[in-house]
Amino acid sequence: MLRFAPSPTGDMHIGNLRAAIFNYIIAKQTNQKFLIRIEDTDILRNIEGKDKEILALLNLFGLLWDNLVYQSDNFDKHRQLAEYLISKDLAFYCYCSKEFLESKRLEAKEQRKPFRYDDSWAEIEKTSNHKPVVRIRGAKSAISFEDSIKGEVRFEAHEIDSFVILKEDGIPTYNFACAVDDMLYDVSFIVRGEDHVSNTPRQILIHRALGYDKVLGYAHLPIILGESGSKMSKRDSASSVAWLLEEGFLPQAIMNYLISMGNRTPTEIFKLQDSYEWFDIKNIAKSPVKFDIKRLRFLNREHLKMLNEQEFALLLNSKDSSIGALAKLYLQEASTLNEIRTKIDGIFTPKCITQQENNESFEQECIVLYTHLREMIESYSEDLKDYESLKKALLQKSNLKGKRFFKPLRILLTGSTHGLELSEIYPYLRFFLRDIVTLDSQDYSKLSLAE
């Protein structure tokens, strides 16, 4: 069993998604089931609806699970196993108050020593504290494990003191719930962020105390750096999967990028299913990798190119393949769906003829061309059949030349003073001329200037 264990306490970020993808790929490669475990033990920080949001994103990315469980459903089992450990003297009640422990932390800091819990403190405040926590006894010998990315990782016994497994309200701590559930669901391999490295020996200690001798595989992914080179935080917009999708990046492009980050891949552009053939977690670089939005933009454009015209149109909420064909042309200068939408919207919204380029206005020329174009459209002129015929007819009717002709014509057809060659896009625009050649409401009053 492979598992992805998100917490419903915030938005899914790209580090979470990367871990989910790798666990999913390995499950497919090894013909094992893929489990989604919602880790909702932090009741105060859980955000209502975040679990559904996470599941919707996983579904969007094609990371379909075989089993879905909520960690809170196992609270009774967690408590039973904690009681079992207490009965075996492998865990104990600790009555230390938070104030007492904080004083010991300050004391250790003043002595410039790492803070370590001392088991002899457990009953010092027993008479005054009636809500003890449960601690598992610390390691008696070093704990090491093999990490598929980092190699052997070793923690000495003194680094793993007695730690809390049940809080004063009876809710299991992250490490205890995680270790127990990995055992209950027979998880075999775990891919997660390197911020969990220090949790791993504690979870191994819990397994050993419970008599669970299965050796799990681990791979701890290096952190993702922001473009500035510092650790990417939740304040970085690009760290949010939802933000990337809102910006118009395709799920398959994001997936392609996250799989290839710090990795050796046989091809530059690929789909999730392709990676089943060659992905190896051991090829992931040990060092942190910097998030490169330009690289993602390139991959997104390549994946957009792979769409057929109908598929592209549907992504733009249109059923007309001509819109898809037009969108594919704009990939010459755009990389995301949002950028494409901006181009398409500019074509189909009423045109503002007062816009300028280098402080130069084409307003009067726009009015002249608009008048002739509307006449041609209303009379179903044969000159509208192709760009050369249109151009020739309008040049004759308007007596305009050079940029005083082409700039206003571009404004009326595309809403912009620059862009793709009109000869390239006109074959698709001509089907929509009646809707395209319209003016902003405030510009209708200026039509008399064309007379």
Task: Indicate the average pLDDT of the chain.
Answer: 95
**Over 50: is that where the pLDDT of 359 sits?**
yes
Beta strand spans in 106-172 (E): 133-136, 143-147, 151-155, 163-166
The percent of residues in the chain predicted with pLDDT above 70, rounded, is 97
State the number of CA atoms in the 13 A half-sphere of 94 facing the CB.
24
DSSP H or E run through 94? strand 91-94
Asked whether the predicted pLDDT for residue 93 surpasses 80, the reply is: yes
H helix intervals, 50-198 = 50-60, 75-87, 98-110, 174-184
For residues 87-113, average pLDDT:
96
Q: b/e per residue, 50-70, with b = 16+ CB within 10 A?
A: bbebbbebbeebebebeeebe
Q: What is the mean pLDDT of residues 65-86?
A: 98
pLDDT band at 357, cuts 50/70/90? confident
SS3 label, residue 109:
helix
End-to-end CA distance of the chain: 77
CB 427 within 8 A of CB 388: no
- According to the annotation, is 234 in a ligand binding site? yes
State if pTM tops 0.95: no
Distance between CA atoms of residues 238 and 405, nearest Å? 42
Mean pLDDT of 80-92: 98
Please determine, for residue 447, whether its predicted confidence score (pLDDT) is greater than 90.
Answer: no
Asked which of 36-50, 318-332, 353-367, 382-396 is least confident by mean pLDDT, the reply is: 353-367
H or E stretch including 114?
Answer: none
Q: Give the mean model confidence (pLDDT) for residues 120-139.
A: 96
Helices (H), 164-283: 174-184, 199-209, 241-246, 251-260, 272-275
> In which band, very low, low, confident or very high, does the pLDDT at 450 lie, cut at 50, 70 and 90?
very low
- Taking CA 272 as the corner, what is the angle to CA 270 and CA 278, rounded to the nearest 5 degrees? 75
Cα within 13 Å of Cα(448), Cβ side: 1
- Taking alpha carbons only, the member of 242, 220, 222, 219 closest to residue 232 is 222
Instruction: Scan for tokens 């571009």, then name that residue.
Output: 410
120 burial class (0-12, 13-18, 19+ CB within 10 angstroms)? exposed
* pLDDT for res 443: 61
For the range 427-436, what are the long-range contacts, defined as Cβ-Cβ under 8 Å and sequence gap of 24 or more?
427/386, 427/387, 428/322, 428/323, 428/325, 428/326, 428/329, 429/326, 429/347, 430/384, 430/385, 430/386, 431/322, 432/322, 432/347, 432/348, 433/373, 433/377, 433/384, 434/377, 435/348, 436/347, 436/348, 436/412
- CB-based contact 289:257 (threshold 8 Å): no
Q: How confident is the model at residue 403 (pLDDT cuts 50, 70, 90)?
A: very high
Residue among 309, 352, 350, 303 at smallest CA distance from 328:
309
| CA–CA separation, 397 and 412 (whole Å) | 16
Cβ contact 359:417 at 8 Å:
no
Cα separation of 204 and 215, whole Å?
Answer: 9
pLDDT at 442: 64
Label residue 449 by pLDDT band (50, 70, 90): very low
* Distance (Å, whole) CA 6 – CA 183: 17
The per-residue pLDDT for 236 is 79
CA distance 388 to 149: 61
Interacting residues of 114 by C-beta distance below 8 A, sequence separation 6+: 108
Q: What is the mean pLDDT of residues 53-67?
A: 98
The confidence score (pLDDT) of residue 451 equals 47
Whether residue 401 is predicted with pLDDT greater than 60 in this model: the reply is yes
> Which pLDDT score is estimated for 323?
95
d(CA 333, CA 112): 58
Q: Mean per-residue pLDDT for 5-25?
A: 96
Q: Over the stretch 177-215, which tens digit does the pLDDT of each residue have?
A: 999 999 999 999 999 999 999 999 999 999 999 999 999
Kindly report, residue by residue over 247-288, the tens digit of the pLDDT.
Answer: 999 999 999 999 999 999 999 999 999 999 999 999 999 999
